[in-house]
Structure 1
Amino acid sequence: MKTLYSMLLCILLTTVSYGQEKIETKQDTTKQKITKLDAVIVTGNLKTDPVLTIVANKYDEKIVQPKNVADLFNDINGFSVIKRGNYAIDPSFRGAQYEQLNIQYDGGTKAMHACPNRMDPITTHIIPEEISKIEIIKGPYTVRYGATFGGIVNLVTQKPDYEDYGVHGKVSGGYESNGNSLVNLVQLQYIKDKFDVVANAGYRDFGNYEDGNGTEIPSAFRSIDYGLKLGYNFSDSQRLQAHWRQSFGRDVLHAALPMDTEYDNSSIISLDYRLDDIGKIIKSITAKTYFSYVDHLMTNDRRPSFMMMEAASAVDATTVGGKLELSWKPLEKLNMFSGIDAMHIARDGNRTRLVKVMNGNPLPTPVEFNDKVWQDSYITDLGIFTEAKYNLSSTTILTAGLRYDNVVSDIQDPEADFAAMYDLKKRTEHNVSGTVSVKKRVSDNFTLEAAYGRGVRSANMIERFINHFTVGQDPYEYVGNPDLKAEVNNQFEIGFKGSKPLKNGFNKFKYETSFYYSFFENYIVGVVNESLTRKFNPTLDPISPKVFRNLDEAYKTGFEATAQIDFLDNYYFKTELSYVYAKNKDLGESLPLTPPLTTGFSIGMNKTNYWANIKYNLVSKQNNISKSFGETETEGYQTLDVRLGIKPTNNITLGVAVINAFDEAYNNHLNFSFTNQADFGRTPITEPGRNLSAFLQYTF
């Protein structure tokens, strides 16, 4: 492994390269202009795009392996994933996670999880193959897409192909050896000048995988998904679109959570409307509304604790929201975006416990208890925003935005002990956020960006209303705090990107980097409260629960960097680097879930009908940890991935891959620990060992 690392480092020092992907341009055969909906944030327009963005695309092309949700983020610089198994996977960006990231579909649609242990995050409610690209705004640098604390992640679903009318579609299937996993997808679309229909259905069956030591990790799951997208063009400048999707998860095993998912059913419907070319000042109006419902059941039927206590928790979450935005241009050099948006989250559900053993003694008759999980709570956020983009020159754009959020929260069916702790009543918060940034295209080959953003996030429902449940990485019970102040992220960032033509067989050198610093106000963490005692299993350690509270002093700083060179027309070498340092001054430790230094080296080729790459991943040891969060130091590791794709005809794509080719046994620092498992201690779950995969797609 050291020899391989030395070889790659040598190549980096001598060539530092990356391949320039060839873009195939199809002939436009449409007969009319198709109005674009606000499903995308980054359009490639200097005058309208946000600053400091990443676009990871081509997910629907050049596929070489079946995709799990984690695969969508693992190759994006600055991203990590938080794993509790092979299904409940949350993305983390620069150490920001959960509601600190504003994660949405198609420019605003949301589906919030029902499980307090996040067995069903938003990323589980969509087929990974349906995602055509992911757009990331690296911080709170826009106010147009909802309240944003640490950044925006926009999952863009595939759009109808307006380049050819009639019936088209694709059929795909994939297999992974580690877990004997299967994925299948069928997609059909019908396009006419006035309307279009896109329908898809997918089936996924993942088995338990083996880590690099040959240990089987309980992580199997099955899911069935389908979706239907309907669009109607009233005119060249007016479009209405409806999108309906459902997802059904079954028999989901969570290695690092105390229970498993029996079923997780989600339904999401959204409606989008846009009217363009209205007038000289008023340019366009866009409107979106959406509704999502998640029905979730988890049990401990397969766990060791079942012999002492049977537990089943049926919970649900409803998310309703919408947005109305006006694009207007009062001056030739000034573009304005003004609007309102709203999101309402409501959760409820109970846990039923049938206790068979109490204080170590079997009970002659089991005793049943009912615990309120969400205590019938809700949070409603109504936002008003204005963002202006002023052309200081043809190459310089100044952006300023201001946002106000009115956040109302209430708990309508509290447990008696929770009601005794707090003066519970409906609460209203007034949050003000804003941003100012500048983007300057110094030349065709160099762009400079600088930004400041004030992102404000009110406490989520777990932080407000959870009542003696284990929802963290550690074995502590957690107690919510409905009086928490909103978190504030004051983030400063400067970034630049550019390219330079080269000679003697080397085509182009490209580079991109960002440096950021954030200082936080009212940062929310769980802290042990020794005046309280454990509610469930009161004889077990730890005796005292954690209660969420605000910190006074915390900060985060870091950077991402990418360097790449194209050479010999179709070949490339690329290196990526990301680093985050976080500090909780109040407790004298790191903030939780901070990823270590991560480096990647890739070498490969891109041609029209075939492509290949080898990626070497180098992750450093993480000893800057949050002991109060239950973190332990994580050793560094190195993995190698090999991918190959072939397109023998215009309609067929075949891909093969070897992931973790050297069968490395390792765990990511952000992985949760095994919980309530028969054969595992409370150590971080390990990642899959060597995995061979194949993927076949046919389009028509």
Structure 2
Amino acid sequence: MRKIYGMLLCMLISTMSFAQNKKAKDTTTQKTVELNKVIIIGNVKTDPTHSKVSNKYDENIIQPKNVADLFKNINGFSTIKRGNYAIDPSFRASQYEQLNVQYDGGTKAMHACPNRMDPITTHIIPEEIAKIEIIKGPYTVRYGTTFGGIINMVTKTPGIDDYGFHGNASFGYEDNGNSISNMLALKYASEKYDFTVNGGYKDFGNYKDGSDLEIPSSFRSTDYGVKFGYNLSESERVQAHWRQSFGRDVLHAGLPMDTDYDNSSILSLDYKKEYTNSKVKSLSSKLYYSYVDHLMTNFKRPNFMMVEAESGVEATTAGGKIELKIVPNENWQLYSGLDATYIGREGNRNRLVKIMNGNPLPMPMSFTDKIWQDSQITDIGVFTEAKWFASNSTIFNFGLRYNAVISDIKDPAVNFAAMYDLEKRTEGNLSGTVSLKKVISPDFTLEIAYGRGVRSASMVERFINHFTVGQDPYEYVGNPNLKAEVNNQFEIGFKGKKDLTNGFNKLTYSSSFYYSFFENYIVGIVDESLNRLYMPMLEPRHPKVFRNLDEAYKTGLEASMKLEFMDNFFLKADIAYVYAKNKDLKESLPLTPPLTTKLGFGFEKKKFWANATFNLVCKQDKIAESFGETYTKGYETLDIRVGLKPIKNITVGLAAINLFDQTYNDHLSFSFNNQSGLGRVPINEPGRNLTAFLQYKF
């Protein structure tokens, strides 16, 4: 641990020393340095394999429970739900560590719970997000290990248009669950410095599905954040961001335990220096640290009468990055740097067994189970990425990255140590990308891309020891000898627009087609040579052990269209489909979403807007039976939102989500687990939900 902190400190000192020794030319037109940009596209304004989605919170008219809710309306995304709180994004059938989820260009907070009760999406206020930047595959090497894509959530920072003191306060209510959401943000900005302070409180109750079945899903959360930025000069900026999140009394319908508390703290420090009249154009660096303290128990579950269980787990994440942008001539841009991430987890489960094999024990027996076995992973990467502007309409992009991944386990359980040679392990991973972007005309852009993304096994896949961490009831056993997972992804995408006449204003459209073949794909496979460790008489008797597969692939597409007409009206359509195949087991890869279509109609003016979205989701019969998946029926829902600004600085909104009160479940949602009167069947989504929203800006 001291080594990683020492390395990060050296990175920061080197950054500051370099900046002080480099003389930047004065300029009266230099704007404030922006720290959080991720997607750099040169002189091309459209980018088929990248996208940026603004978070128009006051127009969504529904209170996001956490950041994962913001992905629901982004084409190609699905969400994995275990209840109403622990929600993960899934993109093109990639999820969890297959996606590089971060915010503000690199800050990370890894979950402490092996069942992902506390993913990074629960540690950030959704109202704090200004935009979400997405790189749709392994098409860059600049932002850490990239297997299935990068998601960068950019938080709000005051700009030149926000000079002075500003703020906003909002209140939201949902009738399905009698839920409330409050948020207050204050900010001040000047030419020299700016700061933002925000806080939020959410109290969500159990919701009901379309058949009036109550889903145990209540939770409370309190969050606050402080961000301070200081402009050392017109071309030099430092920024500090501190935030904490406190989850309380979280019910997880799809997991065997509930969260008593989940406390997280995240600190990040950013520095950037821009130069003029020099081949070195900018120097940027980041340091971050996060700590998650999590307690889960089964005290409200039916098996509490047999065994009392509580698990206190902790996760520490620390990292940093330093990057140089070099422009040797007008046709080339080079980005080179070093980044590092450290993840450490520890914690045990304490059990008090009161009934064994159906017989009450005269004296309850206590056990301690090692969850994380005091495991650590350190990932150090070096990278270079180049953009060649071959002409005003053609850009080539090349990137190469090498990662050294060091994994270690400090306190292994006896049975786990007997299975493996647990010496410290070092892996070397090589990733790369090449792409061509061509502006065919001012209104049409084409891109062809290839990326090789390499991901070493996660801590769960390496070191979990007989815990149920999947959607199925199997115990899972880690494998510290797993090979790194490789995604070879090819993609062709285009974007275009066309100005229209006769009452029609503009047509915009885009599409992406991709194919990936995987090497060493990681899945859990039943090992009949091993027996269940906990409650050994229960089925299934044999656990799953994580293994590498030889043959797996996926292919799919996304397409979007928007027609604007009569100045204020629009029609839009989004479609996303992915097909994934596990050729070794002759079934689909797990967590593959079905064909999804969204049709929208809306009206937009400055002080009033309204829209309706029809969600059409097909059945999913291409399933991974070995993963415990079952056939999922298709469904259709209708959402309606209306918003207005009756007076200056006031926004009012009303919405009806799932207007026709349909009973349905998403294919990626977990099933009920350890719930009274509820078998292991998929968790249904909320029925009709009427919401109200009020925001005041000052």
Please say whether Structure 1 and Structure 2 have the same fold, judged by a TM-score greater than 0.5: yes
- Aligned identity (percent) is 65
Shift in Å, 1:162? 2.4
Q: What do the CA deviations read for 1:329-387 (whole angstroms, capped 9, x no partner)?
A: 11220000000000000000000000000011001111000000000000000000000
- Contact residue 218 and residue 254 of structure 1 kept, 8 A: yes
Corresponding residue number in structure 1 for 2:486: 488
Q: 2:32 aligned to 21, 35, 60, which one?
A: 35
Equivalent position amino acid for 2:280 in 1: I
Counterparts of 2:46 and 2:531 in 1: how far apart (Å)?
A: 51
Q: 2:601 aligned to 603, 610, 632, which one?
A: 603
Q: What do the CA deviations read for 1:6-40 (whole angstroms, capped 9, x no partner)?
A: xxxxxxxxxxxxxxxxxxxxxxxxx9744333312
- Contact residue 48 and residue 511 of structure 2 kept, 8 A: no
Q: 2:563 aligned to 529, 554, 565, which one?
A: 565
Q: 1:660 aligned to 658, 661, 678, which one?
A: 658
Corresponding residue number in structure 2 for 1:155: 153
- Contact residue 59 and residue 129 of structure 1 kept, 8 A: no
Shift in Å, 1:133? 1.1
- Contact residue 298 and residue 314 of structure 1 kept, 8 A: yes
Matched, 1:146 2:153: no
Matched, 1:525 2:531: no
Shift in Å, 1:484? 0.1
TM-score (normalised: structure 2): 0.95
- Contact residue 32 and residue 193 of structure 1 kept, 8 A: no
Corresponding residue number in structure 2 for 1:321: 319
Shift in Å, 1:650? 3.0
Find the residue that maps to 2:415 and give its secondary structure.
helix
In the alignment, structure 1 segments of 5+ residues that lack a partner are 1-30
Equivalent position amino acid for 1:66 in 2: Q
Corresponding residue number in structure 2 for 1:499: 497
Q: 2:346 aligned to 333, 340, 348, which one?
A: 348
Counterparts of 2:167 and 2:383 in 1: how far apart (Å)?
A: 40
Q: What do the CA deviations read for 1:536-570 (whole angstroms, capped 9, x no partner)?
A: 00000000000000000000000000112101011
Corresponding residue number in structure 2 for 1:303: 301
Distance 1:638 1:498, change over 3 A: same
Shift in Å, 1:66? 1.3
Counterparts of 2:258 and 2:442 in 1: how far apart (Å)?
A: 53
- Contact residue 168 and residue 699 of structure 1 kept, 8 A: yes
Find the residue that maps to 1:318 and give its secondary structure.
strand
Equivalent position amino acid for 1:570 in 2: N
Matched, 1:224 2:238: no
Corresponding residue number in structure 1 for 2:52: 55
Corresponding residue number in structure 2 for 1:68: 65
- Contact residue 139 and residue 433 of structure 2 kept, 8 A: yes
Corresponding residue number in structure 1 for 2:179: 181
Distance 1:32 1:159, change over 3 A: farther
- Contact residue 114 and residue 317 of structure 1 kept, 8 A: yes
Counterparts of 2:326 and 2:615 in 1: how far apart (Å)?
A: 46
Counterparts of 1:167 and 1:261 in 2: how far apart (Å)?
A: 38
Task: Report 1 or 2 for greater relative contact order, CA contacts < 8 Å, sequence distance ≥ 6.
Answer: 1
Matched, 1:636 2:606: no
Shift in Å, 1:304? 0.4
Counterparts of 1:376 and 1:51 in 2: how far apart (Å)?
A: 42
Counterparts of 1:32 and 1:168 in 2: how far apart (Å)?
A: 25
Corresponding residue number in structure 1 for 2:691: 693
Corresponding residue number in structure 2 for 1:589: 587
- Taking the TM superposition and a 5 Å limit, the aligned residue runs for 1:299-698 are 299-698=297-696
Counterparts of 1:611 and 1:649 in 2: how far apart (Å)?
A: 15
- Taking the TM superposition and a 5 Å limit, the aligned residue runs for 1:235-250 are 235-250=233-248
- Contact residue 44 and residue 439 of structure 2 kept, 8 A: no
Q: What do the CA deviations read for 1:88-143 (whole angstroms, capped 9, x no partner)?
A: 00000000000000000111000000000000001000111111111111000000
Distance 1:75 1:63, change over 3 A: closer
Counterparts of 1:478 and 1:193 in 2: how far apart (Å)?
A: 55
Equivalent position amino acid for 2:380 in 1: L
Q: What do the CA deviations read for 1:469-506 (whole angstroms, capped 9, x no partner)?
A: 00000000000000000000000000001011112111
Counterparts of 2:387 and 2:46 in 1: how far apart (Å)?
A: 10
Shift in Å, 1:42? 2.9
TM-score (normalised: structure 1): 0.94
* Residue range with higher mean Cα deviation, 501-510 or 448-457: 501-510
Equivalent position amino acid for 1:42 in 2: I
Counterparts of 1:373 and 1:279 in 2: how far apart (Å)?
A: 55
In the alignment, structure 2 segments of 5+ residues that lack a partner are 1-27
Distance 1:268 1:50, change over 3 A: farther
Distance 1:505 1:126, change over 3 A: same
Counterparts of 1:296 and 1:49 in 2: how far apart (Å)?
A: 42
Counterparts of 2:528 and 2:438 in 1: how far apart (Å)?
A: 54
Counterparts of 2:154 and 2:42 in 1: how far apart (Å)?
A: 18
Distance 1:48 1:107, change over 3 A: farther
